[in-house]
C-alpha cells in the first residue's frame, strides 16, 4: 500500500486544471534534487532531456512576467526572445519574484494553474515532439502530455530562442 501512495502525487493546481480540461496525462514522481534541474529528472525517469520541458518565469524591461517553455537541454536566448515578442529586454525573475507570480516554488513551476495569468512562449521545436514531460506543480513531479496541450490550454505562442547548452 505504501508503495502505491508514493507513485501518486496529490492534486496540484496544475493537475486540477489538466483534469478539468480532460487532458490525458501520466504522472512521473522522482526524487527532487536541489539544483538538479532537468538533467536529474531525465536521468531518474529514463527520459531524453530534450523532451523534458522546463518552465521559466521571466520578465520584460517593465517587470511584466511571462513564461517560457524550453527544452531541458537548452537555454533561452533572451535577446532573440525579446526581439520576437517585441520587448526591449527579457531576463529571468529572481526566485522569490518567480514564486510570487506563479504560485509555485522554483523547481516545481508548472505553466498550468499559475497564480497570475501570464503570456506563455514555447520553443517551436517542442511542438515537433510526440510527448513532453513538464512540471506538474510540485518539486519532484513531472507529467507527460502532448505538447499541443500547451498551445490549446495556455495559448502558448511559438518562438525560436533555444541555445544548446
Q: Model confidence over 131-154: pLDDT tens digits?
A: 999 999 999 999 999 999 999 999
Interatomic CA distance for residues 55 and 52, integer angstroms: 10
Using CB atoms within 10 Å of the CB of residue 37, give its burial: 0 to 12 exposed, 13 to 18 middle, 19+ buried.
middle
The pLDDT confidence band at residue 4, using thresholds 50, 70 and 90, is very low
Number of domains in the chain: 1
Quick check: is 159 in a domain? Answer: yes
Q: Is the pTM of this model over 0.85?
A: yes
Quick check: is 3 in a domain? Answer: no
Quick check: is 34 in a domain? Answer: yes
Expressed as residue numbers, the domain containing 107 is 11-164
* 53 touches 71 (CB < 8 A): yes
The pLDDT confidence band at residue 6, using thresholds 50, 70 and 90, is very low
Assign residue 24 the CATH number of its domain: 3.90.960.10
Q: Model confidence over 83-122: pLDDT tens digits?
A: 999 999 999 999 999 999 999 999 999 999 999 999 999 9
Residue whose C-alpha cell is 502532448: 146
Amino acid at each position: 500500500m505504501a508503495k502505491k501512495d508514493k507513485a501518486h502525487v496529490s492534486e496540484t493546481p496544475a493537475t486540477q486544471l489538466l483534469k478539468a480540461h480532460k487532458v490525458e496525462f501520466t504522472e512521473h514522481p522522482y526524487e527532487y534534487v536541489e539544483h538538479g534541474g532537468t538533467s536529474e529528472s531525465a536521468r531518474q525517469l529514463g527520459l531524453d532531456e530534450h523532451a523534458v520541458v522546463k518552465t521559466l518565469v521571466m520578465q520584460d524591461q517593465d517587470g511584466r512576467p511571462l513564461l517560457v517553455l524550453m527544452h531541458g537541454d537548452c537555454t533561452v536566448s533572451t535577446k532573440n526572445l525579446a526581439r520576437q515578442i517585441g520587448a526591449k529586454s527579457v531576463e529571468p525573475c529572481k526566485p522569490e519574484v518567480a514564486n510570487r507570480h506563479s504560485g509555485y516554488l522554483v523547481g516545481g513551476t508548472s505553466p498550468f494553474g499559475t497564480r497570475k495569468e501570464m503570456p506563455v512562449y514555447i520553443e517551436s521545436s517542442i511542438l515537433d515532439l510526440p510527448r513532453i514531460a513538464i512540471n506538474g506543480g510540485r518539486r519532484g513531479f513531472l507529467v507527460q502530455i502532448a505538447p499541443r496541450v500547451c498551445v490549446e490550454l495556455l495559448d502558448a505562442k511559438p518562438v525560436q530562442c533555444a541555445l544548446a547548452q
